[in-house]
Amino acid sequence: MTEDQKKEMKIFAYTHWRVCKELDTDTGIRDIEALKNVVTMPGGGSLTCLLGQKLTNKKDLYSQIGWLVYYTLEGEPLNSKNKATIVLAISWILEHYNIDYDLEQIGDYIENLDIMNKGNADISAWFSKELE
């Protein structure tokens, strides 16, 4: 793993811990390999948006968000609150990029997302459409 990926895992784990602390639920990593998948994009890429790095275009940003959502839901790396953790992580990312968003809408979308029928590209497309 790259140093960036290790940092991204720590930030995501912190986000999870923060959600659990707020909601008084079980914290912890259920599956470390699944968590590695969340921060490992094809071609040696990773979720640099979680590090606060400014991506040069929104397409790359939504591509990373789609990846984050899909592989967290698919692998369920956390002991609890996988969906709420994604929502909190995305809210930080969008705040960082100064992008207007409706967190309730994002929460509804992620809560009802059927990953048997939607892949990471579909999820990226949804964010791209809704946040433009």
Partner 1 sequence: MRRKIIRVGSSRGVLIPSPVTQAMGWEFGSLTELTVDQENNRLILETHQVEVPDELDEGQLTEISSLAEENKNLLEEIND
Q: Which stretch binds partner 1 (CB under 8 A): 10-18, 38-46, 63-71, 115-123?
A: 10-18
What is the contact mask toward partner 1 in residues 62 to 81, using x (rule: CB under 8 A)?
A: ------------------xx
Q: Which of 24, 115, 8, 109 is nearest to 70 (CA)?
A: 115
Q: What does the buried/exposed string (b/e) look like for 98-113 if buried means 16 or more CB atoms within 10 Å of the residue's CB?
A: eeebeeeebbebbeeb
Single residue of 103, 121, 122, 130 touching partner 1 by CB under 8 A: 103
d(CA 16, CA 86): 8
**Interaction between residue 11 and partner 1 (CB under 8 A):** yes
**Interaction between residue 45 and partner 1 (CB under 8 A):** no
Residue 111 or 122: which CB sits closer to partner 1?
111
Angle at 93 between CA 88 and CA 97, to 5 degrees: 145
**Which residues are paired to 45 by β-bridges?**
41
The least CB distance from residue 96 to partner 1, in Å, is 8
Residue 3 or 43: which CB sits closer to partner 1?
3
